[in-house]
Structure 1
Amino acid sequence: MGRAVGFIGLGSMGLPMAQNLARAGFQVLAWNRTPKEAGGLTLVGSPKEAAEAGVVITMLADDAATEAVLPGILEGLPPGGLHIAMSTLGVPYSKALAERHRQAGKRYLAAPVFGRPEAAARGELRIVVAGAPSDVEEARPLLKALGQEVYEVGESPHLAHAVKLGGNFLIAAMLEALSEAYVLVEKNGVRREAFYEVVRGFFRSPVYENYGRILLERRFSPPGFRLRLGLKDTRLIHQAADTTHTPLPLGHLLLDRLLEGMARGMGEEDWTAILKLVEAKGGLNG
């Protein structure tokens, strides 16, 4: 059995990530808030036990879920132990985490990921990392087992979360624009499939290709990324904008669109389901 690593959060992203670490030869001490079948992992009884591995990864839904396990992490990590936060977190919260770990004599590294559950299962995530160079090097074998590309963006951990939020802003904007474009071309007599082939060839982006296909096939359930989580991330984007006095006109449109989805009971659908809202505005839902 290889080096031990703790892993907290076995959701649709966390479970395949933890299992990839196990397949790479790590002994994964895993904890989840609700019991879950987890082949290849060593399940432990608390976040504290997971952190006792000396290095612990969190992959949780939001700031609040991370805060709920933080006391156990700080208690369980040995002096100088390393917490790698791979969730999408708010920039102010990420800054606070760095200081709280420092005061506790522990280390903190931010490494949020781009990719949906299928990419996580294939070990093809894109990982944005920020922190002390020595911490990045210590984490690199773990990151290599989880993703196909690692982008280093600075030595202050919150920078990685700022990049992640900026990227999610672009993805949300692309979803809105592509949904509107599908409706536009269809109402002008063009098959969506034909338009998709043009977009795929012209933009040559895995994001456009993947999301364009999901929209085309209307794969809104089961969700790869829930609409309610998209709303959470959009709120974090606005938080980062508010604290730096950054106007986001497009961001407000996206916030309203996702709020409308929540109001219509779509929170547990994939966030690509905003297509249905755009279609309704265009009169395509009967």
Structure 2
Amino acid sequence: MIAFYGMGLLGSNFVRALRRHGEDVKVWNRTAAKAAALEPLGAKVVSDPAEAARGAQRIHLTLSDDAAVDDVLERARPGFAQGAIIVDHTTTSPKGVVARVARWTERGFVFVHAPVFMGPQNALESTGLMLVSGDPKRIDAVKSSLEKMTGTLLNLGPRVDKAAAFKLLGNLYLMSLTTGLAEMFALGKALGIPASEAATLFQHFNPGATISARVKRMLEAKFASPSWELSMARKDARLMIDAASEAGVPLAILPAIAKRMDAVIAEGHGNEDWTILAKDALE
């Protein structure tokens, strides 16, 4: 028996996949209607977190944040069976993970944090990427079960909060990418280029292909032989900001990037590769 807490888009599709694989699942959600929608699939819906945990060998959570995880686990605790394994897929703070691992270990339970880079469709199809980290014996106890829930299970090693940290790293990049696209569409608006037309740039231009080389340059601090001088990048940023300003279109992130460029140029790095913007983070 599996207990699953949190029937949002991700959790509900995890449950659908588990039921398709023949697993017995009890489900609980703060909003009962979301859990009730899974009843026709054979999931057992309960209104009490402790009741959901009774008889379950594994406890899974896909909740909103640290506070929600701690609250639900405390409410469910009276129903925990001896030897039950807790698997939390929630995006939480690394600090919170460290505290939960210590707390539940002291209470005699295995706690594994397994955040995901998965959308609802991935959860339904058991594809995408799931991260884990921590005590190898604890990971081994759930490895085969977690592998069935995802396309790739990435073990990041024994540091208990490393999966939580990598999840935040990945989400930061996704936020930066999405905001960058929004900024590009805003500049397109200022230049009279509709977003649908601006998007066609990526039919020919693949900036993702440059990531590995760019990361390598940053990590090796090879800034002295520029492929794009920082001063020239700053000039381009000025052209973009001026065009948006003249059209009355606000830009959210480029002014902050330009400010960072100005600071690094003032330190004497204008003729170096623009990736030197990362120098402080790499020291």
The two structures have a TM-score, normalised by structure 1, of 0.65
3-state DSSP of counterpart to 1:7: strand
Deviation by residue 1:21-45 (Cα, 9 ceiling, x = unmatched): 1112211111112212213211123
**Which of residues 68, 82, 96 is equivalent to 2:71?**
68
Alignment partners' CA distance in 2, 1:145 and 1:74: 26
Give the SS at the match of 2:148: helix
CA change 1:198–1:119 in 2 (3 A) is farther
CA contact (8 A) 1:77 1:106 kept: no
**Aligned letter for 2:48?**
S
2:111 to 108, 128, 131: 108
The answer to whether structure 1 residue 9 and structure 2 residue 6 are counterparts is yes
Deviation at 1:158, TM superposition (A): 1.6
Note the alpha carbon deviations across 1:162-221, whole angstroms, 9 max, x for none: 11111111111111111111222343343433432333654486xxxxxxxxxxxxxxxx
The residue identity in structure 2 corresponding to 1:110 is: H
Aligned CA distance change for structure 1 residues 156 and 78 (closer, same or farther; 3 Å):
farther
Aligned to 2:47: 45
Pairing 1:89–2:86 present: no
Aligned to 1:34: 31
Shift of 1:12: 1.8
Structure 2 CA distance for aligned equivalents of residues 137 and 177 of structure 1: 39
Give the deviation of 1:47 after TM superposition. 2.0
Cα distance, 1:62 vs structure 2: 1.0
Distance verdict in 2 for CA 1:82–1:204, change over 3 Å: farther
**In 2, are the aligned partners of 1:50 and 1:56 still within 8 Å (CA)?**
no
Q: Flag structure 2 segments of 5+ consecutive residues without an equivalent.
A: 209-247, 252-283
Unaligned runs of 5+ in 1: 206-278
Counterpart of 1:23 in structure 2 is 20
User: Which of 250, 255, 272 lines up with 1:281 in the alignment?
Assistant: 250
Give the conservation status (yes or no) of the 8 Å contact 2:186–2:250: no
Q: 2:176 matched to 1:173?
A: yes
Matched with 2:141 is 138
* TM norm structure 2: 0.66
The structure-2 alpha-carbon separation of the partners of 1:202 and 1:119, relative to structure 1 and needing over 3 Å to count, comes to farther
* Conserved? CA contact 1:74–1:106, under 8 Å: no
Whether the 8 Å contact between 1:108 and 1:131 is mirrored in structure 2 is no
Q: Distance in 2 between matches of 1:203 and 1:5?
A: 43
The number of equivalent residue pairs is: 206
State the superposition RMSD in angstroms.
2.2
Residue 160 in structure 1 maps to residue 163 in structure 2: yes
Contact 2:186 2:249 in 1 (8 A): no
Tell me how far 1:119 sits from its aligned partner: 3.0
Q: Give the alignment of 1:120-269 within 5 angstroms.
A: 120-199=123-202, 202-203=205-206
